[in-house]
Structure 1
Amino acid sequence: MFLRKRPLLFLSVILLSTLVIAEECAVEIQNEGKGMHIVMGNCKNIGTFSLGGIYNEKWEKLTYHYPMPWEGTFLTISVDDKFYTNSMDPEEGIRMDRYLEQYATIEENKIWVKWMLPEDILVEEILEMIENSTLIHVKITNKNPSQRFDVGVRIHIDTMLGDNDGAPIYIPGDGLKETEKEYSGDYLNFKYWKAYNRKDKPNIVATGILDLNGKLTYPDKVTIVNWKKSMRSVWDYKINEEMSILGDSAVMLYYNPRPIGSGETMEIITGYGSGEPVLKNVSGITEIVLNKISGEYCPGEDVVMKVDVGSRVDFQGLLGVEIRNKKGILFYSKNMSTGVIEAESIKSMEFDFTVPEDVSLDEFNISARLYSAGNLIDEKSSRFSVDASRCVLPAEKGPNWFLIALFIIAVSLLIFMVYPKKGRVIIEKFKEGDTVRVLVWNKSKNDLRNCIVEDRIVEGAEVSISTMNVERSGTRLTWNIGTLKSGEKVTLEYRIKDVNVLPRALVRWDGGEEISK
């Protein structure tokens, strides 16, 4: 088993010396009023850090190793095909300590550190204290006068809540997670995540802030991982959804590489700090999550709502969801049984609504209400909007003249091959007494392949067929001629009594047909 802590025996003089060095190697800012304590490493693994928060007037761990810096909470900077990291933990990373430009420096409520990578890429990490949280800034500037680079960022946070190093992680719309999980694309639609010191009545809770009214940088991927398994990875990490995180949990935020030209800057900002449990009562609604993080939809688009219901005891109730526009007009109403929700768990329940096509501009309110034994015990609301003017339709493309020309050539070739070049195909039907004849004459220059003559007769009529190989089926006579050569004539002949009506006859072949007059 991997052990983080190794008990060592020191002489008192050595112990005193170690404490002095440790103090010099840690830069910190602490503010009881803001409820945050930030500690950054400044000797080795520079820029790695730990965070603490106040709970019940006591400083508690929000990341591992607090109140000392910790190499397990670190950055990875991707530059083209290279990966730089400020921690010694990843096996294949290039250590950033050797490229240090500025040691950790305190500026008011911020700790600031800088590196200059060999590509002339300036990396700045700023930990900024705000009320009950820390904003993690990563600012990257391309100082290279001529080259462009693809640059990305990964932030690896080793969560620890109080004494629990294996904190369960709450994901809005997916519940409380105890195993590894990855969120990206359509599955990455939540604005925050939380870590608990325990499932049962948590009293130490941290909140990771992903979106704050557009002021933060929304990640491309969020992964919940087992720290002992993920710590050695420098960038890519393959999750195992059966791997428990309860022994040692961590969260990784990915910001995919994008091109940074000479003189250009990219900045990543995310937040992590103190928080409150999502469940404030014994049972209740913890969150409403939409399938679009923006909350902006188009006419005809599907609005998928996930309503999280949590309980500290075994619970079964009824969940109702209504959608009304700003005028109060009801557009959607649905009730759904919660089923059995086990104690100390959160269940996500899905509701679907399609925006009417005739709604072009409106705002909607979602009301979720939770009932137990017919009594309302909790309610929560959310909003979304519809604005057709923001719904950009795919640009209409002009005609593809190449394909049109190709089609015309193909059709012309087909006509040339299968349609008679000159002349025409004649079919005539006439009656003399009781004898009926159908004459087919190929006056074209082409042979007619798969040539078939079809004729209709009156139902119940008595017919005597003179021509060979003619089949009768009800009121239809069918003569399969095969190939009718150019200039060739053929005649279908039969006798019919007491019939004066002559339905039209038909001759068809590969590529055409003619009907008698």
Structure 2
Amino acid sequence: MRNSIILTALALLFSCNLVSGIDPSCSIGLSEPSLGMHAVVETCSNIGSFSLGGLYGGVWEKLTYNYPSPWKGTFISVNVDGKVYSTSENPFDSVLMDDYVSSRPGLFDEVLETEWILPENIQVTQSFMNIENNTLVNLSIVNRDSASHVIGVRVHLDTMLGLNDGAPIYIPGHGLRTKEVAYGQNEISFEYWKAYNTPDKPTIVATGLIDPKRSLTLPSQIIVSEWKKSNNAGWQYRPSASQSILGDSAVIIYYDLGIVGPGLKDTVLLSVGGLDPVLPVEKGSFGITEVFTQKISGDYCPGDTVDLIVDVLSEGGAREGIVDISITRRGSEVHKVSRKITAADGKVTSVAFLWKIDDEGSLGDAVYTVTAALTEDGKIKDSRSRSDLIRVDHGKCGVRESSAITSVIYSGLYILPVIVILAVLFIIIVLLYRSLNRRFEGEVRVEKSQDNEEVRLVVVNDTGKTMDEVVVEDLIPENSEIAVSTLNVVRKKDRLFWHLGDLKPGAQAILEYRIKDKAIAKNGVVRWLSGEKEYEIS
């Protein structure tokens, strides 16, 4: 057991602003109390290993072990053609990266960055940026060699929540994990994992976000491990299904980048922060913890079957209830189903639903809204709606034959000339449609609204082309109290800078935040590589 007295002493020292750890000259931190996150990086040995902390009730708490000092048990590994390099001396099967540091850890415009050049002439850059209740971990790989290399990246997190070094890990659809387990890429349908200081009414929560819909990188594998066993492995670790993690838990995230050619760059983006518990206090002791599908991208085609999962948690005793599912499209309900459940005490119960998308006759794309409601004794205990789980994009699905044409084909060859004429007309119409689209391209649409404290900003790409590297600069009232729930948003005085990345034709992105006791500012600007647009909301 790690000494709780020492941990308490460290926490007290940190609360007095002595936050650099045992040797102040060997660490550098990135902290902003208004964002609620703090990252600390080692600068002397095991350079680049780190620890993370979060602000809870005005007190900085551990999200990884050894915080507020950096820790060689939380580190990255880089696999180049089978040779493994790590920022920690702990692994037996890797080379310590200290000798290859090309730029020591430093702060550059609100980013904490470290750089290495590996012997294969691979440049590795590790950077941390704090946003609202999250720290973005950005790992950039650049091949500066004249030959291609097969590259992988791994992040090993030694989780610790407050004084609990053996935090259980919640995986949506799989419940609370208390023993070692691995998830391959085909098994990663969940958008995040959570660890917390106690299963019963947690006060400290760490959340690892991996959702590609939020511009984060989808891992190739995730392992929940016992840290004392996994920290000695620089790359491959084989979990044991009988090994408990409750003494010392860790999470290992793998990213297989494949072949990276000469001069090419690849990037891994992960977010770790302190968000709500699995079942927030306001939901009581019986509620819905998550609604998701087994397809993390959310992209479907007509005729596909959606595997929908609803997670329910009961605390303080087993409960019986009913889960109702409603799926709507453009305000009209297209599917409804109910299922009785029995939720065991303190365990997450996953309820599965199947639904086939009947969208063959639609000429337009579709976004479906899924609403899950939990009732007990005829009373609604909890509900949750999501509009980012099921999307039908006909452009991605390709052209499909309509049922009408199919029936004509099979009715007999005597009407073959009619079919040929219809096919020619169809091709002409498609070509005209595409031509008109090219000639009459739309614009960027921006919609901004406020409902009490809730602010919603929607950016829609109607240009007909992909908008590259989109950044939204949204004005906010001076000295306003803002809480942002969207990722990749940085506040600078009276502006929010929202880094969207690329926005495809017809796609939309949504910024959501809360503003206290003030009306929203009306204007801002959307910028991308080939243009910009100022907006002003009436």
TM-score (norm 1): 0.70
Q: Which residue does the alignment assign to 1:22?
A: 23
CA distance in 2, matches of 1:238, 1:63: 22
**SS in structure 2 of the partner of residue 316 of structure 1:** strand
Asked if the contact 1:180–1:243 (Cα under 8 Å) also holds between the matched residues in 2, the reply is yes
**SS in structure 1 of the partner of residue 274 of structure 2:** strand
CA distance in 2, matches of 1:161, 1:359: 51
Structure 1: 5+ residue stretches without partners: 8-18, 395-517
Q: Which residue does the alignment assign to 1:46?
A: 47
Cα 1:206/1:3, change in 2 over 3 Å: closer
Specify the code of the residue in structure 2 equivalent to 1:59.
W
Q: Which residue does the alignment assign to 1:388?
A: 394
The answer to whether residue 157 in structure 2 is matched with residue 154 in structure 1 is no
Q: Which residue does the alignment assign to 1:95?
A: 96
Deviates more, 1:289-298 or 1:184-193: 184-193
Specify the code of the residue in structure 2 equivalent to 1:345.
K
How many residue pairs were aligned? 379
Q: Which residue does the alignment assign to 2:167?
A: 167
Q: Which residue does the alignment assign to 2:240?
A: 240
Specify the code of the residue in structure 2 equivalent to 1:321.
I
Percent sequence identity is 39
Aligned runs of 1:213-228 on 2, under 5 Å?
213-228=213-228
Cα 1:21/1:162, change in 2 over 3 Å: closer
**SS in structure 2 of the partner of residue 90 of structure 1:** coil
The answer to whether residue 294 in structure 2 is matched with residue 288 in structure 1 is no
Asked if the contact 1:75–1:156 (Cα under 8 Å) also holds between the matched residues in 2, the reply is yes
Cα deviation digits, residues 241-296 of structure 1 (max 9, x gap): 22211111111111014111221111111010111112122111111111111212
Specify the code of the residue in structure 2 equivalent to 1:390.
K
Specify the code of the residue in structure 1 equivalent to 2:353.
F
Aligned runs of 1:18-417 on 2, under 5 Å?
22-144=23-145, 146-211=146-211, 213-280=213-280, 281=283, 282-314=285-317, 315-328=319-332, 330-339=333-342, 341-356=343-358, 358-360=360-362, 361-383=365-387, 384-392=390-398
CA distance in 2, matches of 1:61, 1:77: 26
CA distance in 2, matches of 1:173, 1:194: 12
- Give 1:29 deviation, angstroms: 2.0
Specify the code of the residue in structure 2 equivalent to 1:94.
V
Asked if the contact 1:207–1:274 (Cα under 8 Å) also holds between the matched residues in 2, the reply is yes
- Give 1:97 deviation, angstroms: 0.6
Larger-gyration structure (1/2): 1
CA distance in 1, matches of 2:41, 2:65: 13
CA distance in 1, matches of 2:113, 2:149: 24
Cα deviation digits, residues 89-118 of structure 1 (max 9, x gap): 111101101111111111132211111111
Cα 1:214/1:33, change in 2 over 3 Å: closer
CA distance in 1, matches of 2:37, 2:140: 22
Deviates more, 1:304-313 or 1:21-30: 21-30
Q: Which residue does the alignment assign to 1:495?
A: none
CA distance in 2, matches of 1:233, 1:3: 21
- Give 1:214 deviation, angstroms: 4.2
Asked if the contact 1:359–1:386 (Cα under 8 Å) also holds between the matched residues in 2, the reply is no
Asked if the contact 1:186–1:291 (Cα under 8 Å) also holds between the matched residues in 2, the reply is no
Cα 1:20/1:34, change in 2 over 3 Å: closer
Cα 1:337/1:264, change in 2 over 3 Å: same
Specify the code of the residue in structure 2 equivalent to 1:38.
A
Cα deviation digits, residues 64-87 of structure 1 (max 9, x gap): 000111001001101002000110
Asked if the contact 1:156–1:250 (Cα under 8 Å) also holds between the matched residues in 2, the reply is yes
Asked if the contact 1:317–1:337 (Cα under 8 Å) also holds between the matched residues in 2, the reply is yes
Structure 2: 5+ residue stretches without partners: 7-19, 401-538
CA distance in 1, matches of 2:199, 2:399: 46
Asked if the contact 1:78–1:257 (Cα under 8 Å) also holds between the matched residues in 2, the reply is no
- Give 1:317 deviation, angstroms: 1.0
CA distance in 2, matches of 1:45, 1:359: 59
Deviates more, 1:380-389 or 1:118-127: 380-389
TM-score (norm 2): 0.68
Specify the code of the residue in structure 1 equivalent to 2:366.
D
**SS in structure 2 of the partner of residue 98 of structure 1:** helix
Asked if the contact 2:213–2:297 (Cα under 8 Å) also holds between the matched residues in 1, the reply is no
CA distance in 2, matches of 1:26, 1:257: 30
Specify the code of the residue in structure 2 equivalent to 1:369.
A
Asked if the contact 1:279–1:311 (Cα under 8 Å) also holds between the matched residues in 2, the reply is no
CA distance in 1, matches of 2:398, 2:185: 20
- Give 1:151 deviation, angstroms: 1.0
Asked if the contact 2:21–2:68 (Cα under 8 Å) also holds between the matched residues in 1, the reply is no
Cα 1:351/1:131, change in 2 over 3 Å: same
Cα deviation digits, residues 410-469 of structure 1 (max 9, x gap): xxxxxxxxxxxxxxxxxxxxxxxxxxxxxxxxxxxxxxxxxxxxxxxxxxxxxxxxxxxx
Specify the code of the residue in structure 2 equivalent to 1:343.
D
Q: Which residue does the alignment assign to 1:450?
A: none
CA distance in 2, matches of 1:53, 1:213: 24
Cα 1:301/1:166, change in 2 over 3 Å: same
Asked if the contact 2:21–2:69 (Cα under 8 Å) also holds between the matched residues in 1, the reply is no
CA distance in 2, matches of 1:317, 1:6: 44
CA distance in 1, matches of 2:34, 2:367: 38
Specify the code of the residue in structure 1 equivalent to 2:323.
L
For the aligned residue pairs, the C-alpha RMSD in angstroms reads 2.1
CA distance in 1, matches of 2:42, 2:21: 14
- Give 1:202 deviation, angstroms: 0.2
Specify the code of the residue in structure 2 equivalent to 1:189.
S
CA distance in 2, matches of 1:353, 1:200: 34
CA distance in 2, matches of 1:20, 1:231: 21
Cα 1:317/1:21, change in 2 over 3 Å: closer
Specify the code of the residue in structure 2 equivalent to 1:263.
G
- Give 1:375 deviation, angstroms: 1.1
**SS in structure 2 of the partner of residue 275 of structure 1:** coil
Specify the code of the residue in structure 2 equivalent to 1:372.
E
